[in-house]
Amino acid sequence: MTEILPPVPTTAPDLEAELAALARRYRNADGAAMRLLAQLGTQAESLLERLPDDLRGRLNGLTSHALEQAMGAAYSSRGWFGDHPAWAKTAMATALGGIGGAGGLPGAMIELPVTTTLLLRAIQDVAAENGFDPSAENVRFDCLEVFAAAGPLTARDDGADLAFLSTRLALRGATVQALIARVAPRLATVLGQKLAAQTVPVLGAVAGATVNYAFTSYYQEMAQVHFGLRRLAITADRPHAALVEDLRARIAERSPARG
């Protein structure tokens, strides 16, 4: 099955304007989450310490299982529920987070696979919005690759975050399970931070709702960057790798210095 390519425009896209817009999306992706951490008075690196030791040891397996379930459920849901605007999916995830957060860690554990499915569906919808067919195998792989970006509760690492833009798994002989095995360890850390943030004492449902709002907003923005570059490479007839490097340079110019 092949991907649907965006239609070739009658006029060349404004590369400068489109790349500048994608750079803004990237820089703004995690703003809500980092403000949340500031309000909670904690650091991303310390969040995992809130989780029980046995749960930390099982995060990889739990994440792999959640992704396997999400892959089928997210695509199947496209037949039941048509595309909805980004705000609708953000609202749904926010409500789920509130419910999960109200139940503490047990509630958050039940909510996690449902939210993972919703996040993957949101990423698929962004792919479709940019002209790609979410049923195509390589596009489904690209949707999983978006999860390889550092999560919104992770301290910003531009090198790690941007790595997902330039990688594309060789499809020959590859399977969804192989990609999940590669993505799961990184995502396990991200989702572990999410679980821990939802168990912050006192805040409960408010923390859960806010964390899910941040996650959904983050992954929708990162998906726009990912598929926006794929689309631009086709419509502007430019090498994808060159566009990635151009975006890297733009982000580096505006990123604050880190000590």
Residue with tokens 């989702």: 191
**Do 223 and 146 meet the contact criterion of CB atoms below 8 Å apart?**
yes
- For the chain, the average pLDDT equals 76
User: Residues 74-94: pLDDT tens digits?
Assistant: 767 655 555 556 656 666 666
Mean pLDDT of 190-205: 73
- Please provide residue 149's backbone torsions phi and psi, each rounded to the nearest 5 degrees: -70, 145
Tell me the average pLDDT across 200-215.
72
Q: What is the mean pLDDT of residues 224-248?
A: 91
pTM > 0.85? no
pLDDT single digits (tens) 14-23: 888 999 999 9
Q: Where are the domains of the chain?
A: 31-254
Q: How confident is the model at residue 106 (pLDDT cuts 50, 70, 90)?
A: confident
* CB proximity list for 41: less than 8 A, separation 6 or greater: none
Whole-angstrom Cα distance, residue 128 to residue 123?
A: 9
Provide the pLDDT for residue 6: 55
Q: Are 121 and 89 in contact (CB under 8 A)?
A: yes
- Residue pair 134/76 in contact by the 8 Å Cβ criterion: no
For residues 27 and 29, what is the distance between their CA atoms, to the nearest angstrom?
A: 6
Separation of alpha carbons 259 and 103, rounded Å: 38
Average confidence (pLDDT) over 97-120: 73
Structure-token match 């919808």, residue found: 125
Smallest Cα–Cα separation from 225: which of 93, 129, 134? 129
- Residue 2's identity, in one-letter code, is T
**Which residues make Cβ contacts (< 8 Å) with residue 72, sequence separation at least 6?**
none
Alpha helices, DSSP H, located in 103-175? 104-129, 137-146, 158-166
